[in-house]
Amino acid sequence: MKIKQLLIGLVCLMLINMVPSVFAESQNSFFIGEHDSYIPQIQTSRVNDYDPLVDQEITVEITQIRAFDRIDRFSDPDFYVKVIIEGTEYQSPVWKNMKYLDNLDWKITHDIPEDLENVSIKIQLWDWNPGLDRLCDIASNDQERRIQDIELLYNVSIGHWYGDDFTNTEPTFSDPSGYGRANGCDDNSIYREDRDCELYFNIYQNDYDNDTIPYWTEVNIYGTDPMKDNTGEDADNDSIPIEWEHKWGWTSHRWWGIRQKYSPFEWNDHHNLDPDQDGLDNYEEYLTSQWGSDPFRKDIFLELDQMQIGPNGEGHLVPPESKILIREPFDKHNIVFHLDDGLLGGGEILPYDKNTSNDELDLWPTRHRSR
């Protein structure tokens, strides 16, 4: 027993001695935001200009907003967004009486110093009311702390962000809502009225060759030409181009920052990799990425074919409200539902046919499919 106690004591002493050294390595590389959480900043050696080919800018783009709860007692929400970049606040217009905003194109661009590597960003979703605007919930933090917005660090050298939203291949440490998507239900308030919403966004920097790969990464990691657009190249012949492996190949987490998972120059078996276990392998995730597929968050794609209304009003097209009702329960649980009613190139309006036989049904996929 004494030997066992002695061994335990030695292990505890070793752990205590390790703690100062761990934090010493990270001295001045942490920020503590309002969310009371440590976010390690990725630190390269001191660089005077992370991209000498351009004057550096950061763009934050909001693409979708959807209300899960009742936001306003008297009407649909009057949403607007606040984005704070390095202390400078930007505000969107107010979108009046809109519970669902699916095709937004609101963005702001902010100039940053040439030697700034980690850019702090905060995103808030508000509901406008005369004299009493209310903050909506897009955060995954627990209810006791009442955090409703998201705080991020955008790393200019790699071109990725992390913090309250991140990408990670390990299920234990993954962000269930996905990269570039914030879900207020993630704080376990899915069955409570908590002004829960989902918000889709993107963050990117300007890039001389417009291939979405930052200058510093091209020069110091990939060895590619920062003045040449490398879009579509597949140096490792694994069927996935460099731009997809760059976006999804860097795994990040709020505690340890960014690490590389898939290198564009090392073959990966993407045809058999399915880290989110949604039935779409990485190659299929790449093919559907133009419609918002995320390899580390579950996605469902459903094609909807409908028949034209007959000459006397026969038949029935699926109304928009029904499409929303189908999508919402999945989205709340972070299974993003993509309904292809033609907008994704698959769903079709089939010719009206009063009497359709089984033989005709069998022929429809080849007679009417456009792809």
Q: Any residues with CB less than 8 A from the CB of 214 and at least 6 apart, and which?
A: 50, 51, 156, 157, 158, 159, 205, 207
- Kindly state the helix (H) or strand (E) to which residue 367 belongs, with its residue range: helix 358-368
Kindly report the length of the chain. Answer: 371
Copy the structure tokens of residue 224.
Answer: 């590619």
**Domain-by-domain residue ranges, the chain?**
30-280, 299-368
- What does the alpha-carbon distance between residue 126 and residue 139 come to, in Å, rounded to a whole number? 13
Specify burial of residue 312 (Cβ count, 10 A radius: 0-12, 13-18, 19+). Answer: exposed
Backbone angles phi, psi at 11, to 5 degrees: -60, -45
Instruction: Return the structure tokens found at 39.
Output: 């976010």
Four-residue CA torsion sign, 101, 141, 163, 253? negative
Pseudo-torsion of CA 324, 325, 326, 332, nearest 10°?
90
Burial of 50 (0-12, 13-18, 19+ CB in 10 A): buried
The predicted model scores a pTM of 0.83
Question: Tell me, what amino acid is at 238?
Answer: D
Residue 350 neighbours by CB distance under 10 Å: 14
194, 163, 160: which is closest to 69 by C-alpha? 194
- Alpha-carbon distance of 237 to 253, in angstroms, equals 28
Half-sphere exposure of 346 (CA within 13 A, CB side): 11
Q: What is the pLDDT along the chain (371 residues), one digit of tens a residue?
A: 444 444 444 434 443 343 333 223 232 232 323 443 334 455 556 789 999 999 999 999 999 999 999 998 888 999 999 999 999 999 999 999 999 999 898 999 999 999 999 999 999 999 999 989 999 999 986 555 568 999 999 999 999 998 899 887 666 667 889 999 999 998 877 778 889 999 999 999 999 999 999 999 999 999 999 999 999 999 999 999 999 999 999 887 666 667 788 899 999 999 999 999 999 999 999 999 999 999 999 999 999 988 888 888 887 788 888 988 899 999 999 999 999 988 888 888 888 887 777 877 777 666 555 44
Tell me which DSSP letter residue 291 carries.
G
Chain Cα centroid distance, residue 322: 25
Find tokens 């899960």 and name the residue.
68
Q: What letter does residue 95 receive in the DSSP assignment?
A: B
Q: Which CATH number fits domain 30-280: 3.40.50.2000, 3.40.50.300, 2.60.40.150, 2.30.30.60?
A: 2.60.40.150
